[in-house]
Amino acid sequence: MTRHGKIARLPHPIREQINRRLQNGEANKQTAEWLNTLPEVRSLLEAEFDGQPINEVNLSNWKLGGYRDWEAQQEALEAVRRFGADAAEIGQATGGQLADHLALCMTARIAVALHQPAAEGEDAAGQLQKLRQLLADLVALRKGDQNAQWLRIERDKIELQLKKSGAAADARQREIEALKDPTANCVTKEFLEWFEKEFNL
């Protein structure tokens, strides 16, 4: 969402500092006083807001809007970082074969669900439907793994072909250079001396 208030119009680095101060619980009055001393802020206020300084109400409004957006973004970034760290840890623990382990677990769970009667109060059909949905997700994951593996194989093939063609090109270049060299492929000096001596030339 695009915002047009005083604080929303400030440069990104200043807004970032404001958000950090709000996150740390700094009072609006103190933040406003700090902002109004900054040359970039004073310049913007003169140009676009008739020189009216930033006040506590401006910061309260920002706290309900832009600051909340920033908080949500920070939470999303942190979740992505955690997910990345967790994925790396799981990958190490499973030797990169997580999809294989999940497939085995899901197959076992489906087999158990098919052979066990539903517990009292449980909907067997609903439970099976959940397992089917999980299995569909797992199939999609496996397809993604297979596609990634296929792409790695194709990339390795291309790299190998490039290396081979590069080596062949180098060999051809050496042959061409040898043909251009007038001394290449000629008889040796010793052979010429023997030939002259042998035939009295």
At 131-176, the pLDDT tens digits run 777 778 777 777 877 887 888 888 888 888 888 888 877 777 776 6
Whole-angstrom distance, CA of residue 174 vs CA of residue 2: 64
Q: Is the pTM of this model over 0.85?
A: no
Q: Is the pLDDT of residue 185 over 60?
A: no
Torsion of CA 106, 109, 111, 117, to 10 degrees: -150
Q: What are phi and psi of 50, to 5 degrees?
A: 50, 30
**For residue 72, pLDDT beyond 70:** yes
Would you place residue 20 in the very low, low, confident or very high pLDDT band (cuts 50, 70, 90)? very high
Q: Which two tokens stand for residue 182?
A: 């007038």
Q: For residues 22 and 67, is the Cβ–Cβ distance under 8 A?
A: yes
**Spatial separation of the C-alpha atoms in residues 47 and 62, rounded to whole Å:** 20
- Take residue 153 and report the two structure tokens written for it: 């194989």
CA distances from 34 to 19, 24, 29, 43 (A): 13, 15, 9, 15
CA–CA dist 131, 112 (Å, integer): 11
> What angle is formed at CA 99 by the lines to CA 130 and CA 91, rounded to 5 degrees?
125
The CA angle 16-19-21, to the nearest 5 degrees, is: 110
pLDDT digits (tens, 9 = 90+) for 85-143: 766 676 666 665 666 666 666 666 666 665 555 555 567 677 777 777 777 877 777 78
Tally Cβ neighbours within 10 Å of residue 67: 19
